[in-house]
Structure 1
Amino acid sequence: MLSVLQFIVITLLTSIASSKKINLFIRPVDQTTADPIGFIENDAVYLMDVSLQPDQAYCIGTKDIHNNDCFSYQSNLSNLTHAVFSLFLDEDGDISRLSLSFDDRLDKPQVKKRKQVIAAQPNLNPDSMKKQRDEQQKKAGNEPVVEKVKQKKLIKEIDANGVEVTREIEEEVEVAVDDRSWIQKNWMYIVPPLIIFMLAGGGNEQR
């Protein structure tokens, strides 16, 4: 059996191996050279004392997360004292993207982890919808023919600042196809007036 000391050592080594260090860089948007400003590790951020020009626009990014070379554009920035770095986690718990916001109530930078919410993706390919409808119409038997249509739906998600917002999306739903003719659909508006007209003599009076 493992001793207490061995258990502590293994736990420390495991935590160190599983931790991911994210190096942060900053560069003026009109330049290509980036300078290091610190790193994120173990749910904490460690930033260097960097002198920033408020009249300069900056790009803040990292090369340790794919497609996050410049995850935040900032202007009128004098320091990063009130910075909040949000780490968005995918279904496997891996960091998929970063964002930067500011909270004036903070006296030092912080890190927040957030679960990434993926909204439903509408099908914008009309050819695939037509193919699905044609395949359904070929089915034998008395099964109702259905087609996919787009309907608007309200969903709630978390934005880059961690605020829950509501937005409208379009999603596909299956509805039954009414393949009746126009007369079949509207006979109740045609037949009764026609019967009344015939019973009334068709509007022709005999003299």
Structure 2
Amino acid sequence: MLQEIMTYFQNNSSQYLNYLLTHLAISFKALFWASLIGLPLGYISYRIRLLAEFFQMSAQLLRIIPSLAVLFLLIPLVGVGEFPALIALTFLAVPSILINTTLGFQEVPVVMKEVASGLGMNPTQLFYKIEIPLAMPYILNGLKLALVEILASATLATYIGAGGLGTLIFTGLGLYRVDLLLIGGATVTLLSLFSIALFDFIIRKVRKNHV
């Protein structure tokens, strides 16, 4: 098996790199769009409590819808390729970002905000100097969870022609090539573990700076 894996990399290194870069590109694009949606909605949920339950419930509903189902539902509307995959992955990632952003702002101690206001901070200064720094570990945790979900689910994008590491996995399944399954699956796993480790490192640094 090890010999087969080595042979693949010797003969198809450029192909593997293309799959890897495609997978990363679609994953980070989805994370970007999910952040644009989830971060503002998370803050709005914190500020307007009446909307909080609606957004939270909507986010939970999005979580229980399988991403593969979303992909196939989008085919009649937007066709195949990267675009429908981006839509599905974006909606998959929004709940983690939205929920953790709301939680982050909720966890900012009221007494700290009162003290800051007493010292003369206006609402804008309070937001940038107190609320965002203290909420940041939770926000980063939401981004971490979202990215891990995207990296894993992006393999399904192969079904609609978006490419990525899923091509290796599904080709391995179709041809009974265990080496391709291992290469594709192991790469996705390593990407996820690296993302977790990187975000955890950043979160520790952020918390240390605001203790």
Q: Please give the TM-score of this superposition, normalised by the length of structure 1.
A: 0.21
Greater percentage in helix: 2
Ranked by relative contact order (alpha carbons within 8 Å, sequence separation 6 or more), the top structure is 2
The structure with more radius of gyration = 1
Greater percentage in strand: 1
